[in-house]
Amino acid sequence: MSGDNTAEVVLALEIDDPALADRLTALLGNVAGLRLATPGERAAATVVARDARSMPEDIALTQRELDVLALMAEGASNKMIARQLGISVHTVKFHVGSLLDKLDATGRTDAVAHAARRGVIEL
Amino acid sequence: MSGDNTAEVVLALEIDDPALADRLTALLGNVAGLRLATPGERAAATVVARDARSMPEDIALTQRELDVLALMAEGASNKMIARQLGISVHTVKFHVGSLLDKLDATGRTDAVAHAARRGVIEL
DNA sequence: CCCTTTCCTGGCCACCCGGCCAGTTTCGCA
DNA sequence: TGCGAAACTGGCCGGGTGGCCAGGAAAGGG
C-alpha cells in the first residue's frame, strides 16, 4: 500500500433528494478512512444523483433575467447592470427580485451560487 | 417513497484516477446497506472525480478566511456568519474585507465567483 | 375586444454592506 | 526580548440592496 493510507478520502455530497441524501450521509458517515466534506470544502470526489427526476432544470428564466444574472455573476452592482443594459436601476431590482424568487435564493450571492450549481450559468 | 427503503443503495464509480478508484472501491465495498454497481447497472447515485484542474497556486488565505468564504458561498449574511462562527459582525467584516482584497473582488458576490473560478472553493 | 403575461419604471424605507478610523490579545520567529 | 502576523472588537457613515407599494406599454390568446 502507499504510505498515505492514514489520510482520509474527502467525499462531497450533491444529492437533491433529501431521503437519498440522508441515507448516504448515514451510510458514509461511519466508514473508516472516509469523511464527508463540509460545505465549501474541496473534496477528492463527489457523489451526484443519477436519476434527476426532481431537477428538470426548467427554471424558466426570461431572457432579461438571464442578462441580469450573467452580469450579477461578474460582480456588477445594480447601477452597473442598469447602465450596461440601458434600463433603470428600478427595473434591475425588479429582475433581481424575480431571480431571487425563482432560484430560491436569499441574496444575489446565493442566487449566483445556486445558478452556477444548477448549470444555469457558467463561472 | 416506495416502502423498500431498506434495500441497498447502488452506487456507481466514475473515477479516472486508478489509485483513488481502488481506494474508494475498498472503502465502499464493505459498507452495509450499500453496494457498488456492476458495469452498466443503473445506480441511484454516482461518485465522480472532482476536477484536479490546473491551479498553480492557491491564494494564501488563512483558515478563518476560508471559513468565512465557505459560508459566504452559502449565501449567508455577515450576521449569520458571525453567529455561525461565534464571533462578532465586525470581525466578519474584517475577514470579508481581507477576502475582497486578496481575491481582487469588488463585493462578496464577486469574491465567491472568483474563488469558485480559481478552485479555492467548490459550489 | 378584453385580458393575461412580460417587461419596464417610479417612490419609499429598513436593513445590509464595505471602507474608514481606532484598539486588544495571542502566537511564533528572529 | 522585540516584532510582525493573525485574529478579534468597536464606532461611524455613505452607498448598495431588497421588499413593499403603485403604475404603464406591448404582445399574444381567448
Q: Residue B98 maps to which CATH number?
A: 1.10.10.10
Smallest Cα–Cα separation from A109: which of B86, B88, B40, B121?
Answer: B121
Q: What are phi and psi of B101, to 5 degrees?
A: -65, -50
Give the model's pLDDT for residue A1. Answer: 43
In this structure, are A29 and A67 located in the same domain? Answer: no
Question: Which of the pair, B42 or A105, is modelled with greater confidence?
Answer: A105
**CA-CA distance, A37 to B111, in Å (whole number)?**
21
Question: Which three three-digit cell numbers place residue B65?
Answer: 478566511
Domain total in chain A: 2
User: Does the CB of B87 sit below 7 A from strand D?
Assistant: yes
Q: How many CB pairs under 8 A join A and B?
A: 133
Regarding whether B89 and B44 lie in a shared domain, the answer is no
| B1 lies in some domain | no
Q: If you average pLDDT over every residue of chain A, what do you get?
A: 83
B90 assigned to some structural domain: yes
Q: Name the residue facing B73 among A12, A77, A113 (closest C-beta).
A: A113
CA dihedral B116, A117, B8, B10 (to 10 degrees): -80
Residues B114 and B67 in one domain: yes
Footprint on protein of nucleic strand C, Cβ below 7 A:
A 62-65, 85, 87-91, 93-95, 107; B 77-79, 93-94, 96-97, 100, 107-108
Among candidate residues B120, B103, B13, B99, the one with its CA nearest the CA of residue A40: B120
Going along B1-123, which residue ranges are E strands? 9-14, 34-36, 45-49
Of residues A123, A46, A47, the one with CA closest to residue B119: A123
Q: Which domain holds residue B96?
A: 63-118
Same domain (yes/no): B73, B96 = yes
- Chain A residues closer than 8 Å to B19 by CB: 2
* Angle, helix B108-117 to helix A63-73, in steps of 10 degrees: 80
Which of the residues A25, A78, A114, A123 would you substitute to probe the B interface, choosing the one with the greatest number of B C-beta atoms within 10 Å? A123
Quote the pLDDT of residue B69: 96
What does the pLDDT look like over B14-39, one tens digit per residue?
Answer: 887 888 889 989 988 888 889 898 77
User: What pLDDT digit, counting tens, does each position of B56-113 carry?
Assistant: 456 789 999 999 999 999 999 999 999 999 999 999 999 999 999 999 999 999 999 9
Please indicate, yes or no, if residue B54 is contained in any of the structural domains: no
Same domain, A39 and A71: no
Look at residue A28 and tell me if it is in a domain.
yes
The whole-angstrom separation of Cα A89 and Cα B16 is 48
Q: Are residues B14 and B41 in the same domain?
A: yes
- Give the residue from B19, B107, B34 showing the smallest Cα distance to A76: B107
Spatial distance from the CA of B87 to the C1' of D1 (Å): 32
Identify the top-confidence range among A105-114, B5-14, B37-46, B51-60. A105-114
Contact A40 B9 (CB under 8 A): no
Answer whether residue A104 is part of any domain: yes
The verdict on B42 and B76 lying in the same domain is no
| CA–CA distance, B77 with B74 (Å, rounded to integer) | 9
**Domain membership flag for residue B97:** yes
Integer Cα distance of B102 and A75 in angstroms: 15
The pLDDT, as a whole number, for residue B7 is 73
Is the pLDDT at A25 greater than 80? The verdict is yes
**pLDDT at residue B11, rounded to an integer:** 87
The half-sphere exposure of A85 on its side-chain side, counting CA atoms within 13 A, is 25
